[in-house]
């Protein structure tokens, strides 16, 4: 293959410093490459000026955007709006918390309040509590299953601008009525954001029910292999996402790296296959635990005796790969159980092809105040299990020996 000669070849340093590109620039790789560059070149100073003035589109700086980021953003937009008469814009971040932080900063102003579900991801609670004082905002936690209580709060607190929900919830595995919540939020001139990490867009499309913003920790099911960090924020207000939210991401420098976006794209290719297997395995594990004498309760939306089963069946395509269960012996029983685990892996994450297990009260939700944890069902005897795609009998055998 012929290559272009460098413009300057007087010295070895010039030859090694300048990239020598193939003359045939029409080559299209089957798998998208990693664009590991911080900046992008322009054919002329006139074009550079037009780009910076916003009169012409082009990549400028990888903190602003880059090809790997835009590839996964377009893919998630298609997933979240598939089959819907809805437009949306997605932005990818360096983590799920990067997405949540940007949502917080773009929607809320000093004096505003956020009405948040009480049983959500521990670091989300930690973020809201920690930064509310700095941003001069108020955080109110409530039970999002109690719509009458929510309406009373909204009627009394005129400064609530954002409702923040998570369904299925982490780690109690409750399901919440997205259509009712979005209607309630809009009635009181507020926006509704939903963390869709547990379900993924394959199992649930919050935009279908009128939700304004969708959050993902893409580190979990969307990547699927635990190989990199990433997060998404999706919004139905395309202009707001493209201007206000994008600018905060640019200024904070919280865009996903090209390498992590490349890994994310590879993971997203098998999302449907993995999610089907996660759901099948989780149902089998939930049924096993439901019959075990050492287990007090099992929280899995696929079980018909779960209080939210009917709602989840209407709102989701399937019931997901995460469940939680309460051991009769409380914290001491959890400690004994986790020490005996062999096949399942003890870690604070979820959504990978491997089965992951953890104790929320001492791990992912440790920074949530104890009273709040217990009020919303996150007890010292609760175990969270993210069921992988292995042979489910291996998972069940490990749980059975650890529960003896």
Catalytic residue among 176, 191, 195, 380: 195
Confirm or reject CATH 3.50.50.60 for domain 67-268, answering yes or no.
no
Structure tokens at 65: 């955007």
Catalytic residue among 220, 249, 277, 384: 220
What pTM was computed for the model? 0.93
DSSP H helical ranges for 302-363? 309-315, 330-340
**5 is known as an active-site residue:** no
Where, residue-wise, is CATH 3.90.1150.10 in the chain?
271-402
Does residue 180 have a cis peptide bond before it, meaning omega lies within 30 degrees of 0? Answer: no
- 193 Cβ neighbours under 8 A, 6+ residues apart: 103, 107, 162, 163, 164, 165, 211, 212, 213, 214, 215
Where, residue-wise, is CATH 3.40.640.10 in the chain?
67-268
**50 is known as an active-site residue:** no
CB 160 within 8 A of CB 113: yes
**331 is known as an active-site residue:** no
CB 204 within 8 A of CB 186: no
**187 is known as an active-site residue:** no
Please name which of 341, 360, 338, 339 lies closest in space to residue 349, comparing C-alpha atoms.
360
Please name which of 266, 366, 384, 381 lies closest in space to residue 322, comparing C-alpha atoms.
384
404 residues of the chain, pLDDT tens digit each: 454 555 555 676 665 666 655 665 567 888 899 999 999 999 999 999 999 999 999 999 999 999 999 999 999 999 999 999 999 999 999 999 999 999 999 999 999 999 999 999 989 999 999 999 889 999 999 999 999 999 999 999 999 999 999 999 999 999 999 999 999 999 999 999 999 999 999 999 999 999 999 999 999 999 999 999 999 999 999 999 999 999 999 999 999 999 999 999 999 999 999 999 999 999 999 999 999 999 999 999 999 999 999 999 999 999 999 999 999 999 999 999 999 999 999 999 999 999 999 999 899 888 888 888 888 888 999 999 999 999 999 999 999 999 99
Catalytic residue among 42, 47, 50, 63: 63
- The topology (CATH level 3) of 271-402 is 3.90.1150
């Amino acid at each position: 293959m012929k290559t272009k000669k460098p413009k300057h070849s007087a010295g070895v340093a010039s030859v090694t410093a300048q990239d020598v590109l193939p003359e045939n620039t029409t080559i299209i790789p089957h798998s998208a490459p990693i664009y590991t560059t911080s900046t992008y070149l322009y054919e002329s100073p006139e074009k550079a000026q037009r780009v910076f003035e916003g009169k012409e589109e082009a990549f400028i700086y990888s903190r602003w955007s880059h090809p790997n980021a835009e590839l996964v953003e377009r893919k998630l937009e298609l997933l979240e709006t598939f089959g819907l008469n809805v437009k949306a814009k997605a932005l990818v971040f360096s983590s799920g918390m990067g997405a949540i932080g940007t949502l917080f900063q773009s929607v809320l102003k000093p004096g505003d309040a956020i009405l948040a579900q009480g049983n959500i991801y521990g670091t989300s609670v930690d973020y809201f509590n920690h930064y509310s004082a700095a941003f001069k905002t108020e955080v109110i936690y409530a039970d999002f299953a109690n719509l009458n209580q929510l309406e009373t709060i909204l009627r009394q607190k005129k400064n609530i601008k954002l409702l923040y929900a998570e369904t299925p919830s982490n780690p109690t595995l409750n399901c919440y009525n997205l259509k009712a919540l979005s209607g309630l939020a809009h009635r009181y001139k507020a926006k509704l954001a939903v963390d869709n990490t547990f379900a993924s867009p394959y199992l649930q499309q919050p935009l279908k029910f009128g939700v304004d913003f969708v959050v993902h920790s893409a580190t979990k099911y969307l990547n699927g292999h635990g190989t990199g960090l990433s997060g998404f924020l999706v919004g139905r207000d395309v202009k707001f996402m493209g201007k206000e939210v994008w600018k905060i991401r640019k200024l904070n420098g919280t865009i996903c790296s090209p390498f992590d976006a490349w890994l994310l794209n590879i993971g997203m290719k098998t999302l449907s296959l993995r999610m089907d297997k996660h759901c099948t395995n989780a149902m089998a594990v939930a049924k096993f635990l439901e019959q075990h004498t050492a287990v007090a309760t099992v929280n899995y939306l696929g079980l018909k005796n779960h209080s939210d089963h009917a709602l989840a069946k209407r709102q989701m395509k399937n019931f997901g790969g995460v469940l939680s269960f309460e051991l009769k012996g409380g914290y001491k029983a959890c400690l004994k159980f986790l020490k005996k685990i062999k096949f399942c892996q003890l870690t604070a994450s979820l959504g990978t092809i491997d089965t992951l297990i953890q104790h929320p009260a001492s791990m992912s939700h440790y920074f949530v105040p104890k009273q709040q944890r217990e009020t919303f069902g996150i007890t010292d005897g609760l175990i969270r299990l993210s069921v992988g795609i292995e042979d489910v009998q291996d998972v069940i055998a490990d749980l059975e020996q650890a529960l003896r």
